[in-house]
Structure 1
Amino acid sequence: MCTDYEPAQPDLFEAFTDFPVPQFEYPRETYKDYVAPILRMTAGERSTDPATFGMVPRKHIPPGVKVFDTMNARAETIGEKRSFSGAWKKLQLCLIPCSRFYEPNYETGKPVRWRIGMANGRPLAIAGLWRAWDDPEGPTLSFTMLTVNADSHPLMKRFHRPGAEKRSVVIVRPEDYGDWLCSRSTDEARSFLNLYPAEEMKAEAYPLPPRKPKGGDSDAGSFLE
């Protein structure tokens, strides 16, 4: 599960040919309910739009319903899960421009934050779904990242808790951006949901700086999976 990533900043958008450079501000690191850019086909034109990370933003979870996470959607069940099935069947596909994403590695016995990207240092695009909301301030968008099983992937199987299923986001090759976004059926869209070659990726430990607990002097740090 990817719940933390670095969206590609405007100065890197030459990697996403023909998509407009974002005309809005967004943080250099994105978590649940943060706004970041997504790439879409809108009325036959390529667009770059602000959207909230998480298909169902916290503010749209009804009162009394336990808060749930929708930053990632499993490729195997996107046609069945209520949070994602509507967007999937309508082919509301997007790309998420990304410099790097983060996952926890437990090989030391403790969760260590690792940073993952392309071996050539270029930005990447993650396959996603989007949906629209009618908010009081006007129409807004939200998105989720699509994931696939990574139990056999040389790199991505190194992440997440011991014993848990290994998952990976779906990285779309630049030459496939248009074909992915213009998929004419869910079967065609599924043909893009594959693992990316490990030899074309790079990963390294990148722990968060230690945090001092309130009222204490301890240097204990933490990673939220």
Structure 2
Amino acid sequence: MCSNYDAVVSTERLRLYFGVDAPPAAKAQVWPLYEGCFIRRHPHKDVGDEAVPPREAMAGLFGLIPHWAGELTFGRRTYNARSETVAEKPSFRDAWRNGQHCIVPVERIYEPDWRSGSAMPTRIQRKDGKPMGIAGLWTSNRKATGDEVFSFTMLTVNADEHEVFKHFHKPQDEKRMVVILREDQYDEWLDAPAVRSMEFMRQFPAHMLMATADPERGKRSNR
């Protein structure tokens, strides 16, 4: 499960790899309820106006806050959504059934490696230096504050046998990993109807990822 990551904030990299401009306010280092960047289909992409981009970068809180939630703190426990239960869980099911797909642009994610007996912060990234586009869901909420608040979550799959992600979290815990999309899946994921969502819930190849211990991570956290 991913609760901390470094977002793609470089305007050049967002344009090159995702075809969007950076939204205001999004943070570089993101924890639950921090404001991060997510990418969705522009709501007016089908009007025929060439000035409307096909993708839109938005700032939203990391941790999905469904429309019926009365407090923003709800998002502290909804930053990841299990693909096996996302269609039934009240927190996620509306966004899933409505096909509110998004992509979370990420440079690196961080997980604890417990193989030494204590948690070692470890960063996971692509070996080729490209950012990761993580499959997510987005929604908006007006009940909590009276103003529209956007939020998002990352989708996850089992990783008990994944050669990289099987090493993270405590030995007795199920191993999980976020759903990292291939670049050629970005538009397909954003356009996919709900009935096709599960087709994208797959592991990213381990040989394309690298994991590096980063013991200073917690010490320089900006939380």
Q: Root-mean-square deviation (CA), in Å?
A: 2.4
Whole-angstrom distance in 1 between the partners of 2:151 and 2:112: 25
Whole-angstrom distance in 2 between the partners of 1:129 and 1:209: 27
Partner residue in 1 for 2:24: 24
Mapping for residues 110-149 of structure 1, pairs under 5 Å: 110-134=118-142, 136=145, 138-149=147-158
Question: Could you give the per-residue CA deviations for residues 101-134 of structure 1, whole angstroms, max 9, x where no partner exists?
Answer: 0000001110000000100111111000011112
Partner residue in 2 for 1:175: 184
Structure 1 runs not aligned, ≥5 long: 212-220
Mapping for residues 145-160 of structure 1, pairs under 5 Å: 145-160=154-169
The Cα of 1:67 is off from its aligned counterpart by 8.5
Q: Aligned pair in 2 of structure 1 residues 183, 161: CA closer, same or farther (>3 Å)?
A: same
Partner residue in 2 for 1:69: 77
Partner residue in 2 for 1:106: 114
Q: Is this contact kept in 2: 1:92–1:129, CA < 8 A?
A: yes
Q: Aligned pair in 2 of structure 1 residues 197, 90: CA closer, same or farther (>3 Å)?
A: same
Whole-angstrom distance in 1 between the partners of 2:123 and 2:5: 9
**TM-score of the superposed pair, with normalisation by structure 1:** 0.85
2:216 to 203, 208, 214: 208
The Cα of 1:62 is off from its aligned counterpart by 5.2
Partner residue in 2 for 1:3: 3
Q: Is this contact kept in 1: 2:121–2:218, CA < 8 A?
A: no
2:61 to 48, 52, 68: 52
3-state SS of paired residue (2:136): strand
2:170 to 158, 161, 165: 161
Identity over the aligned pairs, expressed in percent? Answer: 34
Q: Aligned pair in 2 of structure 1 residues 56, 21: CA closer, same or farther (>3 Å)?
A: same
Whole-angstrom distance in 1 between the partners of 2:84 and 2:93: 11
Q: Is this contact kept in 2: 1:15–1:122, CA < 8 A?
A: no
3-state SS of paired residue (1:82): coil
Partner residue in 1 for 2:96: 88
Q: Is this contact kept in 2: 1:38–1:96, CA < 8 A?
A: yes
Whole-angstrom distance in 1 between the partners of 2:148 and 2:15: 28
Q: Which amino acid aligns with 1:21?
A: D
Q: Which amino acid aligns with 2:6?
A: E
Q: Give every structure 1 segment of 4 or more consecutive aligned residues whose post-TM-superposition deviation is greater than 2 Å.
A: 14-18, 42-45, 60-63, 65-68, 135-138, 208-211
3-state SS of paired residue (2:106): strand
Mapping for residues 188-207 of structure 1, pairs under 5 Å: 188-207=196-215
Confirm or deny that 1:42 pairs with 2:42.
yes
Partner residue in 1 for 2:49: none
How many residues align structurally? 208
Q: Is this contact kept in 1: 2:38–2:59, CA < 8 A?
A: yes
Question: Could you give the per-residue CA deviations for residues 8-66 of structure 1, whole angstroms, max 9, x where no partner exists?
Answer: 01232134343x21141332210011001100002233100011000129xx5559x99
Structure 2 runs not aligned, ≥5 long: 46-53
Whole-angstrom distance in 1 between the partners of 2:88 and 2:173: 22
